[in-house]
Structure 1
Amino acid sequence: MVTFSIIGDLHYSIGESESEEMMELKNRFFQHFLTEFFSLQSDFHVSIGDLTHHGKREEIQSIYAKINHLSASFQHVLGNHDLYELTKDEIVQLTGQPRYHAYSCSEGRVIRLDSTREKRPDNWSGVIDNEQFYWLKQQIDSHQNEPLIIFSHHPLYNTTTRSSEFNGSIIKEDPIHELLQNHKPGGYFFCGHCHTHSICREDNWCYIQTAAVYDHPVIRTVSIKNRTLKTTLHEIDDIELKNNAKKIHDSLYEKITPFDPYGHFTDRSRKFVLI
């Protein structure tokens, strides 16, 4: 069995002219949320991308200082916001994590993708660069009989909720779609980006999307055993944390979320068995 604890888009931010009150509120929120996240017993703790909001160097350094103090099992999937100001080489140097990576576990081949564009706040859709695509193809060719466990910030086009919207996915022209579709054992595709919980199945692929933390401050827990996936949301029963999440959200976006981040109850907890 392999287990994961996953957080959606965290959007950790450092404002240029924040009040002392807001800075203290943020510090309490992130300390509480991250402590809860890393207290869950899992093989791996994964951020599904947009760990930071502005992609500033100081944001990366600050959030990683908090994370490194709490955990050694953290895996960071790059999100579009994480690359708004830094190059990919710079963020790899800062985090010590490769931008894409693969390893085997008892339940299949785990693949962490980089679906981001570098310094493109004007285009927040996803794309898989040529170097990474051929690496991915080699990974799949070498593990043809194993399920894939894929982590990508962006969903595949027209799978999860909002993934067919403008800039809502890895672009539909990207050859990754056909590459994964042709992998007969199928697998599990974890993503974020669209800020809403969504789970769906298409043939032998299961797509699991997790909402942004400020919209719903929860942690997705996942276990996979014998081609059976079980996932649910770990709720943090703390009124102050939930209120602080809303205050931080409002300070960043200055508007209410214009869609339902919670989804249907089957978008929060589900069981899948691969054929």
Structure 2
Amino acid sequence: MSRTIRLAVMGDAHYCNEIPNEHAFIRDAYYRQLFREFFTLDADVHILLGDITHWGHPLEWDFVLRTTSELSKQYDRQFRFILGNHDTLRQSKEDVLRQTDSPRYAVDEFPNLRIVYLDTTKESSYDNWGGLVDEEQLDWLDEMSRSKNQYTIVCGHHPIVQTTAGSDHEMMSIDNSREVLQKLAKLSPEGLYLNGHNHIHSAVNGTDTLPGWTFVQHSAVLSAPVFRRYSVSDEAVHVSSYHADHDLLRQSELFRGLILGYGHTDKAYGTSEMILTTLPRAKD
């Protein structure tokens, strides 16, 4: 029997370097504590779902990389992140990947689980924040689908259109969602798609194309500092929510309104109907 694999997942962080100097100490203290609480969660992989920075400025990446590197080493964690549309606004995607020393897309294989990390972002666009999965990745998904069929979790910054909250709005989903759904259907008859981007926690079970998949959107942690842990076994996927220390929410309220272009919403926590606990696995 395969062991249970656990994923700790965080939504949009939006670390912003461009706020008044008198708020910089509060901002940095907030993020250090937020990331510390995240990495203390016991999991096999810790994942950030994009928009890790607000402008993609090298100084923003420098703070985030130093902080997450120190904590992942301290707690002996495997750390993964994907790009969001904000992460490449002040420099090219190529420059960001060079600074972060990370792949644009990737896969982690476990005996009973495949975790796919997609790049759904466009190149440095201020006026088009919608998502796209390019041909290179679509071909890569095709290649992967020819290998062993297994339960699959896909992480992308943008949601699939007409799934989670806000994904039916302009530029709030992946432009070629239908094509992506077709590729996911070939990967596995059941799985999870995890995303951020729309800043509201939301969960939807199944679509006409992928009835065995569940789509889960993570809130932006500046508005709702919540992490989720997914425990994947052969029988089920158990989902646990972890609320960061309440003082952190009060801290974020002191500076998030100073971040130009940050989309705060009081609905970030979602509704009770959107809270997942257990997703049964299909029986062979």
Q: What's the TM-score once normalised by structure 2's chain length? A: 0.90
The yes-or-no answer on 1:269 pairing with 2:270 is: no
Distance in 1 separating the partners of 2:108 and 2:203 = 24
Aligned partner of 1:68 in structure 2 is 69
Per-residue CA deviation, residues 89-121 of structure 1 (Å, 9 max, x unaligned), is 211111121010012113321110000001112
Distance in 2 separating the partners of 1:89 and 1:189 = 25
Q: Does the aligned pair in 1 maintain the 2:145–2:186 contact within 8 Å?
A: no
What residue ranges of structure 1 are gaps of 5+ in the alignment?
A: none
Distance in 2 separating the partners of 1:254 and 1:55 = 13
Aligned partner of 1:245 in structure 2 is 252
Q: Does the aligned pair in 2 maintain the 1:204–1:274 contact within 8 Å?
A: no
- Shift of residue 123, structure 1, vs aligned partner: 0.7
- Shift of residue 184, structure 1, vs aligned partner: 4.8
The letter of the residue matching 2:190 is G
Per-residue CA deviation, residues 57-106 of structure 1 (Å, 9 max, x unaligned), is 11111210111111042111110100112222211111121010012113
- Shift of residue 19, structure 1, vs aligned partner: 2.4
- Shift of residue 253, structure 1, vs aligned partner: 4.8
The yes-or-no answer on 1:207 pairing with 2:215 is: yes
Per-residue CA deviation, residues 124-173 of structure 1 (Å, 9 max, x unaligned), is 11101111110111112213x21211111011111111111111111146
Q: How does 1:119-134 map to 2 (within 5 A)?
A: 119-134=124-139
The yes-or-no answer on 1:165 pairing with 2:166 is: no
**Percent same amino acid among aligned pairs?**
28
The yes-or-no answer on 1:217 pairing with 2:217 is: no
Out of 10, 15, 29, the position equivalent to 2:13 is: 10
Q: Does the aligned pair in 2 maintain the 1:11–1:51 contact within 8 Å?
A: yes
Aligned partner of 1:231 in structure 2 is 239
The yes-or-no answer on 1:58 pairing with 2:95 is: no
Distance in 2 separating the partners of 1:33 and 1:103 = 25
Aligned partner of 2:199 in structure 1 is 195
What is the SS of the residue equivalent to 1:200? strand
What is the SS of the residue equivalent to 1:123? coil
What residue ranges of structure 2 are gaps of 5+ in the alignment?
A: none
The yes-or-no answer on 1:19 pairing with 2:27 is: no
- Shift of residue 36, structure 1, vs aligned partner: 0.7
Distance in 2 separating the partners of 1:260 and 1:272 = 24
What is the SS of the residue equivalent to 1:222? strand
Q: Does the aligned pair in 2 maintain the 1:51–1:82 contact within 8 Å?
A: yes
Out of 96, 101, 105, the position equivalent to 2:110 is: 105
Q: What's the TM-score once normalised by structure 1's chain length? A: 0.93
What is the SS of the residue equivalent to 2:59? helix
The letter of the residue matching 1:211 is S
- Shift of residue 266, structure 1, vs aligned partner: 3.8
The letter of the residue matching 1:69 is E
Q: Does the aligned pair in 1 maintain the 2:152–2:188 contact within 8 Å?
A: no
- Shift of residue 255, structure 1, vs aligned partner: 8.6
Runs of 4 or more consecutive aligned structure 1 residues displaced over 6 Å after TM superposition? none
Distance in 2 separating the partners of 1:74 and 1:104 = 15
Distance in 2 separating the partners of 1:266 and 1:123 = 31
The letter of the residue matching 1:58 is L
Aligned residues: 271
Aligned partner of 2:157 in structure 1 is 153
